[in-house]
Copies of this chain bind each other. A is one copy, B any other.
Amino acid sequence: MRKICVAVHSRANYARIKSLLRAIQNHPQLQLQLVVGASALLYRYGNVIDIIKKDGFTPDVTCHMVLEGSTPASMAKSTGVGIIELSSAFERLSPDVVVTVADRYETLSSAVAASYMNIPLAHTQGGEVTGSIDESVRHAITKLAHIHFPASELAAQNVIRLGENPEKVFFTGCPAMDLLDGLDLRLSADFFERHGGVGHTIRSEKEYVVVLQHPVTTEYETQEEQISETLSAVEALDMQAVWLWPNVDAGTDGISKILRSYREKNPQSPIHFYKNFPPLDYAQLIYNSRCLVGNSSSAIREGSFLGVPAVNIGNRQKGRQCGDNVISVPPERSKILDAINQQLAHGKYEPNPIYGNGNAGKRMADILATVDLDINKTLFYKES
């Protein structure tokens, strides 16, 4: 039995790895070890851990590592605290493999801790191209990882171009798509009421857009301007809007402040703010929306699979492989508004399986059960 330790640190992490957790649980040769940390533990970010438990997973260790403040220095320090906490967790669990998801600082903490502890590291979502510090961190983690599960074919090529051994690069698609496959995507009548949140009541039979815009940490100084442009565009749209609070990152507090202040001054505005949706509910939410607005990768990944029209704002996703469903615009009110209107006019797109076709989790589990776990690696380039 190989012990596979998966570290889940945020709501996005969880949606992108849940089907693998299930596949490991169900695999006769694998034992699941679950570490839950960072914003997945926090009330401010919707207590993702409660959703995880409700889904039948039992965390083996929880790791508090987020230093309050959301400045660049506090984000760096959180990475440091994360390494300290996660190395204690890994020492206790002594896994055969650590699985780390995507490209945030908690992901890097897991990767560094596992690397120095000589634990083979598997990494999902490597090889994608975006903006922000996530871009650098994602590729750095690829260079620390031993087993790669890129989500798209282009991403798989990039991982190999980064000098990884092709025998350890497995294009599986993203587990997030597994959740969508065959899912009943209809909204229940009490959908919005059930999920709490604050602000204007959203009626599920009426049209709505979904907004999710995270800080771009490398553009820390202009976060508040950027979010104001989006807010102003959505306001002009005059359609129901479901707005999700951003990730915990340098700049989050500034964004939250703008949003809270707007809400107090505009109690009649048709916007409702939510902290969090469980993965399946999130899929239903976006599938039934008229347009996704912001800079979340879910617009590109889940969005392409579901054919949801999306307006991608600014540099955070710059360079990420997109389907036809995405229009990218700079963070300017009028361009955002034009693009949303263009998408509303277009309506649904054809589904596009760039990021997987629904069996990623199961394939990853099968690979983890049998792949060679040698920790020695070296820059790999075929002689040309």
Task: Please give the residue numbers on chain A whose beta carbons come within 8 Å of chain B beta carbons, in ascending order.
Answer: 39, 41-44, 61, 64-77, 79-85, 87-88, 90-92, 105, 108-109, 112-113, 115-118, 129, 131, 133, 135-137, 139-144, 158, 161-163, 198, 217-218, 220, 248, 250, 253, 256-257, 260, 264, 315, 318-319, 375-379, 381
Contact B116 A79 (CB under 8 A): yes
Closest to A164 in B: B139
Say whether A81 contacts B79, CB under 8 Å. Answer: no
- Rounded to whole angstroms, the CA-CA distance of A129 and B378 in the bound complex is 7
Given A108-B112, A131-B378, A381-B161, the answer on whether A73 and B44 have CB atoms closer than 8 Å is: no
Q: Given that A133-B115, A135-B379, A379-B158 are known contacts, is A69 also in contact with B76, CB under 8 Å in the complex?
A: no
Q: Which residue of B lies closest to A41 (CB)?
A: B69
Q: A83-B83, A108-B112, A379-B129 are in contact. Are A72 and B118 (CB under 8 A)?
A: yes
Are B81's CB and A82's CB within 8 A?
A: no
Q: Contacts A142-B143, A264-B198: A79 and B112 contacting too (C-beta < 8 A)?
A: yes
Check A83 against B85 for contact (C-beta < 8 Å): no
Beyond contacts A61-B92, A88-B88, A92-B92: 16 other A-B pairs, Cβ-Cβ < 8 A, are A39-B68, A42-B69, A43-B256, A64-B68, A68-B68, A76-B87, A77-B81, A79-B83, A80-B82, A80-B112, A84-B84, A140-B140, A158-B163, A161-B161, A161-B379, A161-B381
The answer to whether residues A73 and B131 also contact, given A67-B68, A136-B377 and a CB cut-off of 8 A, is: no
B140 contacts A144, C-beta separation under 8 Å: yes
Contact A84:B92 (CB < 8 A) given known A68-B68, A131-B376, A378-B131: no
Given contacts A68-B44, A378-B131, A379-B135, contact A161 B163 (CB under 8 A): yes
5 examples of A-B residue contacts, CB within 8 angstroms: A43-B253, A67-B67, A84-B85, A112-B112, A131-B378
Contact with A376, one of B162, B315, B378 (Cβ below 8 angstroms): B315
Question: Separation in Å of the A189 CB from the closest CB of chain B?
Answer: 21
Contacts of A66 in B (CB 8 A): 67-69
Complex Cα distance A162/B42, Å?
Answer: 37
Cα distance A87–B79 in the bound complex, in angstroms: 11
Minimum Cβ distance to chain B for residue A241 (Å): 18
Measured between alpha carbons, how far is A162 from B90 in the docked complex, in Å? 30
- Expressed in whole angstroms, the Cα–Cα distance for A158 and B80 within the complex equals 29
Q: Is A116 within 8 A of B250, CB to CB? A: yes
With A116-B217, A135-B377 already in contact, the answer to whether A74 and B68 are too (CB < 8 A) is no
Which residues on B sit within 8 Å (CB–CB) of A198?
Answer: 260, 264
Q: Does A220 contact B118, Cβ atoms closer than 8 Å?
A: yes
A375, B218: Cβ atoms under 8 Å?
yes
Question: Which one of B43, B80, B139, B260 lies within 8 Å of A84 (CB-CB)?
Answer: B80
Q: Which residues of B contact A137 (CB under 8 A)?
A: 115, 144
Report the bound CA distance from A105 to B42 in whole Å: 21
Q: Which residues of B contact A88 (CB under 8 A)?
A: 73, 85, 88
Residue in B closest to A84 when the chains form the complex, CB atoms: B80
The docked-state distance in angstroms from the alpha carbon of A217 to that of B116 is 8
Hey, which chain B residues are within 8 Å of A108, CB to CB? 112
CA distance A84 to B144 in the complex (A): 21
Q: Are B118 and A217 in contact (CB under 8 A)?
A: yes
A25 to B374, CA, bound (A): 41
By a CB distance below 8 angstroms, the chain B residues around A82 are 80
Interface residue from B43, B70, B136, B139 paired with A257 (Cβ < 8 Å): B43
Contact across chains for A77 and B69 when beta carbons are under 8 A apart: no
Expressed in whole angstroms, the Cα–Cα distance for A88 and B139 within the complex equals 25
- Interchain CB contact under 8 A, A163 and B136: no
